[in-house]
Amino acid sequence: MNVLKIGRPVIYGLATNGEFGVKQGIEMLNNELEQTIALAGCCTTAEIIRNYVKTDKERLLLAYGFFGYLENFGTSSPCFTFVSNLL
């Protein structure tokens, strides 16, 4: 399903500045999308492949795997302390 949910920013733009606010909101979304695509090293949305997108479940699994790795070093390791401070 190729759907982009932009309703809320459009409504905020409408509420704050009418038609011009809607145009500004859509322009901001477009600029952010272009920047994100460029930061991913792509030129178009067609170049974005599944490997670029991580779901919440995948992020949790990656984090669990990382913390499972840290368990081998114990809680006194500098690496564990650094990561704990980030959380």
Same domain, 36 and 4: yes
Same domain, 70 and 45: no
CA 48 to chain centre: 14
Indicate the burial class of 13 (C-beta count within 10 angstroms; 0-12, 13-18, 19 or more): buried
- Of 3-7, 23-27, 60-64, 68-72, the least confident: 68-72
Same domain, 30 and 58: no
Same domain, 47 and 62: no
Distance CA 65, CA 18 (A): 48
Number of domains, the chain: 2
pLDDT tens column, 32-48? 989 988 998 889 888 88
- The answer to whether the pTM exceeds 0.85 is no
Same domain, 58 and 80: yes
Q: What is the largest CA-CA distance in the chain?
A: 58
What range does the domain containing 71 cover?
54-87
- Stretch 50-59: mean pLDDT, rounded? 78
Quote the strand ranges of the chain, DSSP E.
Answer: none
**Residue 31 confidence (pLDDT):** 92
Task: Tell me the percentage of the chain whose pLDDT exceeds 90.
Answer: 20
